[in-house]
Structure 1
Amino acid sequence: MPATYLLGYDIGSSSIKASLVQSDSGKIIASATSPDKELPMDAPQEGWAEQHPDLWWEHLVKATHQLRQANAEALKQVAAIGISYQMHGLVVVDKNQQVLRPSIIWCDSRAVQTGEQAFNELGQDWCLSHLLNSPGNFTASKLRWVQANEPQIYEQIHKIMLPGDYIAMKLTGEINTTVSGLSEGIFWDFKSDSPSDKLLDYYQIDQSLIPEQVPTFGEQGKVQYGVAEELGLSANIPVAYRAGDQPNNALSLNVLKPGEVATTAGTSGVIYGVSDQLEYDSQSRVNSFAHVNYSQDEPRYGILACVNGTGILNSWLKHQLLLDRLSYEEMNQRAQQAPIGSAGVVVLPFGNGAERPLANAEIGAQIGGVEFNTHNTSHILRAAQEGIVFALKYSLDIMEAMGMEVNCVKAGKANMFLSPIFREAFANTTGATIELYDTDGAAGAARGAGIGSGEYANPEEAFAHLQQIDQIEPDSDKQSAYAEAYEHWLEALNQHL
């Protein structure tokens, strides 16, 4: 019997990634990323962030062509496709499935006031107990912003989608979404287990704009003939899994059970824990969504703490401050020359839109405590990495106040976790053991497709070959120094709140 393969796509705001996974062995046999440099984000006004969905599709095609060059025969043997995507974005299409405006993506802040007004007028207790969140700066509030500010576009909308729904539509020609997706857009009422009539009525949004729901794991449509020909696939392959990038990152690390925790530090940084309790933060600084394995009978909630300014800060330092003179590895080596605490230099990494852990404040990124006769680039580079870790620790403190105990976190060895400084700072500041695995979002989406298509009988089978490649334990000799540095960082943060 010939080997079968699973294809996963990760639709990020920085790049599009694709992975081919051999289903029996679980091995990643080919990976591709497009473009080579970060995708651009358009900012028509301060605090806005947009990307055109056509850009995602263009680079999905290019990444798939890279896979075809690497292993065309395996691509032809793909049995199912999974999609991971940047969360909270808004895509709107007309009856001909034509995009009506660029997507308002996750780090866009234009709808903050809209969501805050809804939070107060709908009632904070009702929002938190039914939606688990403030409507905040999420997809529903972004749609309300379009309705209020671009009525001529709103009138043409046939369906609204999240970024992953758009990619599935391009592949299959069908428009649908998932419960997990609707919950991340703050459209889902967890008490009625249905789209929220009360929120939609308040925002004057016609429920017909919401796509029909399909299971997170299961057939969501089949690849159209013309698309299959363009990509080098066989026609009628099922799209069998779809999830936002953070629930999918948790899946890729086999984080599915209550008490398990995943983390990632790409463009943004996230700590994501799984719970079976209906938990929420009273200020909605940490957010709760339906996890990928959520069901009414066995509810599983993803508790998500997100810091927008993570890898994007490191990228900004590389491209703008250092003018690309150092690679990321050289930046890490330079950072190691500075001591724990960066000799008093403090970096607040909040320069990428409204920050949820700060109650949607936009304080901008800050570099402080610099002494011209004492400090150099090594101190700033280390302070940046420590600042990212401290911002995640700030979010983790909120999660722990909700009752989540974090002793061990799982992460893919990628992005900021490639840095020894970052790993050391994370373990010693949080006190948690870090387990690193050889996986990524695209590979996780591929394995999710294997679960959804029946290639795997269950998640245990899907992740039987997941390999732990490193483990970082807190170092008692360094924890007090990191604790002192974190307190210094908190003092600087509180001056801006």
Structure 2
Amino acid sequence: MNDVKNAIQNGKTVLGIELGSTRIKAVLVGEDNVAIASGSHDWENSYVDNIWTYSIDEVWKGLQDSYQKMAAEVQQKHGVTLKKIGAIGFSAMMHGYMVFDKDEQLLVPFRTWRNNITEQASTELTKHFNYNIPQRWSIAHLYQSILNEEDHIHNIQFQTTLAGYVHWKLTGKKVLGVGEASGVFPIDLDTKSYNKKMIDQFDELIAPQNLSWKLEDILPEVLVAGENAGTLTEEGVKLLDVTGELEAGIPLCPPEGDAGTGMVATNSVAKRTGNVSAGTSAFAMVVMEKDLSKVHPEIDLVTTPSGNLVAMAHSNNCTSDLNAWVGLFEEFTQAIGFEVDKNKLFETLFEKALQGDADGGGLLSYGYLSGEHMTHFEEGRPLFTRSSESNFNLANFMRTHLYTSFGAMKIGMDILTKEEGVKLDEVLGHGGIFKTEGVAQSILAAAFNVPVSVMETAGEGGAWGIALLGSYMINKEENESLEDYLNGKVFAGQAVKTVSPDSNEVEGFEQFMERYKNGLAIERAAVDNLR
């Protein structure tokens, strides 16, 4: 305990904060990279004028709240007021659209990754670059704004992401980590920066608009893991710590996206490794040995925080509808006079799913709370349906909702493994859906037909992942790679639980997916006719 207290007092700690889609979490780690204290703040996106957004006030309120709760835990557990920190890192939901004018004012409300409103831009840029540009990428949002002839495009001085915005305000530095930047604009794997040829192609494309800026002028600088990305300013202290106890001058690592921090938190930054992050959205990331043979609109190409190629199969929807159904069961238990712990409720229902038929009993659901680009839906309608012959029971109901949570993502993964022949040794899972031991692991192993592992630190998530990147920046040895640092100084001796695929369940998931694909017409009818 004294070692931890000394580490806190002497600034030998690292703070990671991640702004996720439903929670902002702050994690402070010690010299052994183990969490000392944490704090979190729940928040939700708002749907305003047909745009999924978070207000800037909510950003700062949530950051300050999560920081204060973490600092209060430090005080409570260790009797120390947090003043010094060895390094800080910020992470957030990738992509989206944040543009600012010369007075550093946000020109339009923050447009998150969840908005499927850039189809024209996405299609045109993909064709123009011969490189997949998904709808949620920042460059697609920018180009769509230009195509829409929105007034604000003439006043743009700076474009960044949510993580880049927070980092900028706390340090004054307009930078992004390469993993985060790879969801803004395509990266040149040799230079570890934006693809210069495509930058020039974009400028030529928009030349008829006679805008006052060139793309390279408004984008943040790209940095790789381990580089110094500035220091916390006096102004930044006031934005983060409302008590003013924290000292300025703390170094910050490059801000990263939740995809990159997920790779770090699961030690999935080496080739032939993959990880699945499952929460409001779900994405599978595979570190590639070589390029894909052709452009696939379902597959994003991004990078690790070190700049290595990663193929990402991303779905906009994962657990939101599943969580809503669990909430309904909780409401029922309360209505009949029982108070059940929410974690126990999840555990009971998840474990029940393992008793279901391998194919889910003929049931079908789509947890499309929002649009789903993987299956080409601009809007979503959560939907559950069955035939009169389906085996409708609680086990199959829960199994079906777990299956469908990974359904859209599996379509992308099948392209990688079945069409492109990508080889995977194992997948590491992290996110709330994996908290009930073995259940979501078994489902995912069946979906991907590959062993799925969950580490004891899987619940730490992206805030821990960005803290590790901060730790790497200040503690790495000369020429020590991120892979070597994670293997030797973070995950050595880490307890890992692995579930191998069951052939019967693999076949059952394939049967479910046939039903899933065939039933998309039902979802289309719901989107088109239910307003």
Q: Same fold (TM over 0.5)?
A: yes
Q: Secondary structure at the match of 1:317?
A: helix
CA distance in 1, matches of 2:235, 2:169: 11
Residues 116, 378 of structure 2: 8 Å contact kept: no
> Which deviates the most, 422-431 or 4-13?
422-431
Residues 223, 229 of structure 2: 8 Å contact kept: yes
How far the C-alpha of 1:189 sits from its partner, in A, is 5.2
Q: What letter corresponds to residue 349 of structure 2 in structure 1?
A: R
1:183 matched residue in structure 2: 182
CA distance in 1, matches of 2:294, 2:424: 17
Identity level (%):
18
How far the C-alpha of 1:173 sits from its partner, in A, is 2.3
C-alpha change, 1:469 and 1:178, in structure 2 (3 Å) is closer
1:441 maps to which of 457, 462, 465: 462
Aligned 1:185-264 pairs, distance under 5 A: 185-188=184-187, 194=194, 195=196, 196-204=199-207, 206-207=214-215, 208-228=217-237, 231=241, 232-264=245-277
How far the C-alpha of 1:486 sits from its partner, in A, is 3.6
For residues 72-106 of structure 1, the C-alpha deviation after alignment (integer angstroms, 9 at most, x for no partner) is 43732311111221011111122332322221110
For residues 216-245 of structure 1, the C-alpha deviation after alignment (integer angstroms, 9 at most, x for no partner) is 431111111243255142211011132111
2:312 maps to which of 267, 292, 304: 304
* Length, aligned pairs only: 477
How far the C-alpha of 1:328 sits from its partner, in A, is 5.5
2:45 maps to which of 40, 49, 59: 40
1:297 matched residue in structure 2: none
Structure 2, unaligned stretches of length 5 or more? 208-212, 334-339, 525-531
Q: Secondary structure at the match of 1:201?
A: helix
How far the C-alpha of 1:408 sits from its partner, in A, is 1.0
C-alpha change, 1:53 and 1:13, in structure 2 (3 Å) is farther
CA distance in 2, matches of 1:256, 1:320: 39
Q: Secondary structure at the match of 1:342?
A: coil
Residues 137, 184 of structure 2: 8 Å contact kept: yes
Residues 226, 473 of structure 2: 8 Å contact kept: yes
1:28 maps to which of 32, 35, 43: 35
CA distance in 2, matches of 1:406, 1:461: 22
Q: Secondary structure at the match of 1:213?
A: strand
Answering whether residue 447 of structure 2 is matched by residue 429 of structure 1, we say yes
Residues 284, 359 of structure 1: 8 Å contact kept: no
Residues 274, 284 of structure 2: 8 Å contact kept: yes
How far the C-alpha of 1:145 sits from its partner, in A, is 2.8
Aligned 1:135-150 pairs, distance under 5 A: 136-149=135-148
Answering whether residue 287 of structure 2 is matched by residue 290 of structure 1, we say no
For residues 325-375 of structure 1, the C-alpha deviation after alignment (integer angstroms, 9 at most, x for no partner) is 5735414523516613332111123342242x3356656443221549963
For residues 22-47 of structure 1, the C-alpha deviation after alignment (integer angstroms, 9 at most, x for no partner) is 02x22111111102xx42332422xx
How far the C-alpha of 1:150 sits from its partner, in A, is 6.4
Answering whether residue 20 of structure 2 is matched by residue 19 of structure 1, we say no
Aligned 1:363-378 pairs, distance under 5 A: 364-369=381-386, 371=388, 375=392
Structure 1, unaligned stretches of length 5 or more? 295-299
CA distance in 2, matches of 1:424, 1:135: 30
Aligned 1:411-490 pairs, distance under 5 A: 411-412=429-430, 414-419=431-436, 420-437=438-455, 438=457, 439-454=460-475, 458=480, 459=482, 460-463=484-487, 464-466=489-491, 467-476=494-503, 478-490=505-517
2:412 maps to which of 384, 395, 411: 395
1:166 matched residue in structure 2: 165
For residues 129-149 of structure 1, the C-alpha deviation after alignment (integer angstroms, 9 at most, x for no partner) is xxxx23544211211233444
Q: TM-score, normalised by structure 1?
A: 0.87
Q: What letter corresponds to residue 449 of structure 2 in structure 1?
A: G
How far the C-alpha of 1:395 sits from its partner, in A, is 2.0
How far the C-alpha of 1:279 sits from its partner, in A, is 2.5
> Which deviates the most, 174-183 or 220-229?
174-183
1:406 matched residue in structure 2: 424
How far the C-alpha of 1:456 sits from its partner, in A, is 6.0
